[in-house]
Structure 1
Amino acid sequence: MAIASVGVTGLAKASAGFLTELPGTVIRAARVASVSLGYAVVFGAATLGARLRRRRWAGEGEHLASLFISLGPSYIKIGQLLSTRRDLLPERVCTALGRLTDAPPPPRRARLEGLLRRAYRGQEWPFVEFDWTPVATGSIATIHRAVTRDGQQVAVKVRRPGIDRVMRRDYQLTAAAMSAAERLPWLRSMPMKLMHAQVGGAILRQLDLMAECQALDDLRANLTEFSWIRIPAPLPELCSEDVLVMEYVEGLVRAAPESLSENVRNVAARRVMLTVYEMLFVDGLVHCDLHPGNLYINDDGSVVILDAGFLIQLPEPVRASFSDFFINLAMGNGPLCAEIIIESAAGTADGCDLSGFRADLTELVREATGVRSIEFNLATFAGRLFNLQRRFGIYPAPEFAFPLLSLLVVEGIVQSLDPKLDFQAEAMPVLRRRNMPRTSVG
């Protein structure tokens, strides 16, 4: 597999040239602070006014989406992920945030053309047709329809000019925040900088479209046995760090779940979960960005994945530990779930009460096992798990954030398709096909 595990190298890479970037980073920090403050005033005034009139303010979703757009791509990504959680956020807020998949206006044609001409400098222009009006606009890139010199219809993903500087400055700002957080007494032992390097480095990796080209190839190879899933094939000879060229998928429509028949929704929900479980438990791959702009459901229940920018290869010990935790959660084996968390932790606080943690996690697993799927909420479970770890001073391996993020994102989509789907039961066939998991302590 060519996809590298994300490590502290992301921190070193993003920090290179920090002194020369410092003025730009300071300006970026000032902009983030001023924009956030301005929206806080608007939110506060509107909320207060609505309460005084004893009404609910209906504009919070639109204002929240506008805030994310104003802050830039790193924050738009957050909004896109939040838009999938209709089980946690009001419908009107998720609907507004859902528009972030196409919300950012495209760059001017002159800037796009300049970037593409530089990308293909020294070689023949590879397209006989190129539509400069994008068919889709994302926070990091725009997608254009084109025809190659040999007549193939392709989608050309072009990184937004200058977006790498903005995202690297955001990374530096959040890195500084994590360094400050580690000095707080209740967070002093928690590996905040390491966790930021892992997650932030993975987000920055989305800037490298040549890496995404390889990720698409890897994802296609791993999921080739599923005839009902389509992933566009890249054209590596036309790809670079700034440009990704792949086959064009015709007829994509972002259908609302209610527009599909109940049978199609049920089939699609199981197929999406099977795809995610196959990646997590068998291949050790994590797709952390399966929001509706990247995941399409056709009216026959087939699935299309268009993007592989946020694809992470888990280290084998992390894949095995996460798989073991999940299957023992489904089996109600709380004591072993606790042991897996303890053994895979990045560290523990001085005087950590491991016996207390084992008892409380066993109780949490007991409550989550055997409940109806419609009553099980992964976000709530993960929140309680993280709270237990924080309270007892058990700090998880940073890589554990990725499979949880993947499941949290896709859970919102799947529940909108089939709220009765049993997440734990659907995982069991996949878990049984891989190496037998550990199911006893010791």
Structure 2
Amino acid sequence: MTKTTGRLVRLPGLVLRCAWVGLIVACYGVVIAGSAAGARLRRSTGGRGVRDGDRWVRMLTRLGPSYIKIGQLLSTRRDLLPEEVTTPLARLTDGAAPPRRRRIERAVREAYRDRPWPFREFDWEPVASGSIATVHEAVTLDGRRVAVKVRRPGIERVMWQDFTLTASAMSLMGMLPRLRKMPFKLMHAQVGGAILRQLDFAAEAASLRALRDNLEGGTRTVTIPAPLPELCTPETVVMEFIGDLRRFEPGELDLDTRRSVQRAVLGTVYEMLFIDGFVHCDLHPGNLYFDLNADLVMLDAGFVIKLPDPVRRSFADFFINMAMGDGWMCAQIVIESAAEIADDCDLEGFRAALGELVSETSGAKSGEFDLARFAGRLFDLQRRFGLFPAPEFAFPLLSLLVIEGMIKGFDSDLDFQAEAIPVLRRRNIPRDAQPAVER
């Protein structure tokens, strides 16, 4: 624990946070469980699902940013969860209640205390309000229209407390006999650390630049706001302002446009995953939009992970072999990239079981292929046979799970795996050595 972390996570505050989380979960758990029991007795839902969805939203909002993030990701999985759950959860992507103006103003003034005030105009009423930051429209002294992302006051302390609490919970889970072999601590360090890195606004500004550089000149039209490094601070990210945005949803788009949108999103995500190893894990409807031409606009780069190159290569090799229906090779890649293999692992049994799973899903269309179910069955096979994957594999899967849930409603006939093949063929060619693609 660093000196800064020690200041943020003190025992009295941690105990209070633990008590608060426990109280909120217990209270809402009793209400939701009671509602479910009553509905079973009446043999009718009677609208219970909508009310329970609202209760989940209120509970996650009260618990704070780490839990809101979970709700945002779950809201994209309309293919797995009932509409009465995902519809209320989707409100979490539209924005959380902003802090009071005086707190925002104090935070921004403090961020620029050591330099001249750079704004000619600053709208203290946010244009967007997320779980970690608010976004404000401003005009610089030289007349540029910009968006200023401001970290919520006090958010660091809460997120570090939650990180510490979940680390303790993972340690306890690792003591259970059936779970002792699971690398919970390593998984928590990777995933929890990635969530904490959303507090690092210097890293987010760098991620915005990297995403723009990587995707510029590619096969897809994607707009990403350019950061203005000279105006950024540890508490703010200043970037170009992009207006006239529309929500990322099918709406009244015709079928050809819907298919074009699907291919654009998948192509962009595949480029990030398989070529750059740069994974955006947070492309929910609050961060992905259309412009007036129905081209993609990608905002926010807080939850972006740079994969180690061996992990990028292994994931890309697994995906292309899955698309080709080569289950044996998929199993071999999992075995070679595993973080740990149990002494009693039945490798041949694992190869046979994964081969069956791959043959079932190879070539499935969007409406037939269910990545969440596939991933669940894959992880179950690994658990049963004693192969534990590198924790970094969770990030590309998370990215694809979020996107899959969002774009299935655009067209159910698209082949997710076939769309990846053109990108996967370039997976081992450095981007600067790849031929230019006509836009």
Instruction: Show structure 2 runs of 5+ residues with no match.
Output: 430-439
Matched residue, 2:367: 374
The offset of 1:207, in angstroms, is 0.5
Q: What is the alpha-carbon distance in structure 2 between the residues aligned to residue 245 and residue 81 of structure 1?
A: 26
Say if 2:234 is the partner of 1:245. Answer: no
Q: What is the alpha-carbon distance in structure 2 between the residues aligned to residue 14 and residue 202 of structure 1?
A: 20
The offset of 1:340, in angstroms, is 0.5
Q: What is the alpha-carbon distance in structure 1 between the residues aligned to residue 8 and residue 89 of structure 2?
A: 36
Q: Aligned runs of 1:34-433 on 2, under 5 Å?
A: 34-56=23-45, 57=48, 58-226=50-218, 228-298=221-291, 300-433=293-426
Task: Report SS of the residue matched to 1:373.
Answer: coil
Say if 2:21 is the partner of 1:28. Answer: no
The offset of 1:18, in angstroms, is 7.7
Q: Deviations over 1:345-381 (max 9, x none)?
A: 1101231111111111111111111333321100000
Q: What is the alpha-carbon distance in structure 2 between the residues aligned to residue 106 and residue 228 of structure 1?
A: 32
Q: What is the alpha-carbon distance in structure 2 between the residues aligned to residue 215 and residue 14 of structure 1?
A: 26
Quick check: 257-266 or 148-157, which moved more?
257-266
Question: Is the Cα–Cα contact under 8 Å of residues 74 and 86 in structure 2 kept in the other structure?
Answer: yes
2:28 partner amino acid:
Y
The offset of 1:51, in angstroms, is 2.3
2:412 partner amino acid:
P
Matched residue, 1:6: none
Question: Is the Cα–Cα contact under 8 Å of residues 267 and 301 in structure 1 kept in the other structure?
Answer: no
Question: Is the Cα–Cα contact under 8 Å of residues 338 and 358 in structure 1 kept in the other structure?
Answer: yes
Q: What is the alpha-carbon distance in structure 2 between the residues aligned to residue 15 and residue 109 of structure 1?
A: 27
2:85 partner amino acid:
V
Q: What is the alpha-carbon distance in structure 2 between the residues aligned to residue 150 and residue 18 of structure 1?
A: 39
Q: What is the alpha-carbon distance in structure 2 between the residues aligned to residue 214 and residue 237 of structure 1?
A: 12
Q: Deviations over 1:396-418 (max 9, x none)?
A: 00100000000001101111222
Q: Deviations over 1:162-184 (max 9, x none)?
A: 00100000000010111111111
Matched residue, 1:439: none
1:53 partner amino acid:
R
The offset of 1:255, in angstroms, is 5.0
1:314 partner amino acid:
L
Task: Report SS of the residue matched to 1:156.
Answer: strand
Question: Is the Cα–Cα contact under 8 Å of residues 211 and 241 in structure 1 kept in the other structure?
Answer: no
Q: Deviations over 1:273-314 (max 9, x none)?
A: 000000000011110000010011345331000111111111
The offset of 1:254, in angstroms, is 1.6
Task: Report SS of the residue matched to 1:375.
Answer: coil
Q: What is the alpha-carbon distance in structure 2 between the residues aligned to residue 44 and residue 190 of structure 1?
A: 30
The offset of 1:209, in angstroms, is 1.0
Q: What is the alpha-carbon distance in structure 1 between the residues aligned to residue 103 and residue 165 of structure 2?
A: 27
Summarize the Cα distance change of 1:230–1:19 in structure 2 as closer, same or farther, 3 Å threshold.
closer
Summarize the Cα distance change of 1:255–1:222 in structure 2 as closer, same or farther, 3 Å threshold.
closer
Summarize the Cα distance change of 1:59–1:193 in structure 2 as closer, same or farther, 3 Å threshold.
same
What's the TM-score once normalised by structure 2's chain length?
A: 0.94
Q: Deviations over 1:66-99 (max 9, x none)?
A: 1110110000000000111110011222111111
Summarize the Cα distance change of 1:20–1:231 in structure 2 as closer, same or farther, 3 Å threshold.
closer
Q: What is the alpha-carbon distance in structure 1 between the residues aligned to residue 139 and residue 145 of structure 2?
A: 5
Summarize the Cα distance change of 1:389–1:225 in structure 2 as closer, same or farther, 3 Å threshold.
same
1:286 partner amino acid:
V
2:173 partner amino acid:
A
Question: Is the Cα–Cα contact under 8 Å of residues 200 and 234 in structure 2 kept in the other structure?
Answer: yes
Question: Is the Cα–Cα contact under 8 Å of residues 245 and 292 in structure 2 kept in the other structure?
Answer: no
Task: Report SS of the residue matched to 1:77.
Answer: helix
Task: Report SS of the residue matched to 1:296.
Answer: strand
Task: Report SS of the residue matched to 2:138.
Answer: strand
Task: Report SS of the residue matched to 1:158.
Answer: strand
Task: Report SS of the residue matched to 1:151.
Answer: coil
Summarize the Cα distance change of 1:233–1:20 in structure 2 as closer, same or farther, 3 Å threshold.
closer
Summarize the Cα distance change of 1:371–1:228 in structure 2 as closer, same or farther, 3 Å threshold.
closer
Summarize the Cα distance change of 1:19–1:78 in structure 2 as closer, same or farther, 3 Å threshold.
closer
Say if 2:430 is the partner of 1:434. Answer: no
The offset of 1:16, in angstroms, is 4.0
* Percentage of identical aligned residues: 61
Quick check: 333-342 or 295-304, which moved more?
295-304
Summarize the Cα distance change of 1:373–1:163 in structure 2 as closer, same or farther, 3 Å threshold.
same
2:421 partner amino acid:
M
Task: Report SS of the residue matched to 1:174.
Answer: helix
Question: Is the Cα–Cα contact under 8 Å of residues 14 and 168 in structure 1 kept in the other structure?
Answer: no
Which 4+ residue blocks in structure 1 deviate beyond 6 angstroms?
A: none
Aligned-pair Cα RMSD in Å: 1.6
The offset of 1:272, in angstroms, is 0.3
Summarize the Cα distance change of 1:20–1:308 in structure 2 as closer, same or farther, 3 Å threshold.
closer
Task: Report SS of the residue matched to 1:128.
Answer: strand
The offset of 1:33, in angstroms, is 0.5
Q: Deviations over 1:192-251 (max 9, x none)?
A: 101100111110000011110111000000000146210000111111121011000010
2:140 partner amino acid:
T
Question: Is the Cα–Cα contact under 8 Å of residues 9 and 160 in structure 2 kept in the other structure?
Answer: no
Q: How many residues align?
A: 425
Matched residue, 2:437: none
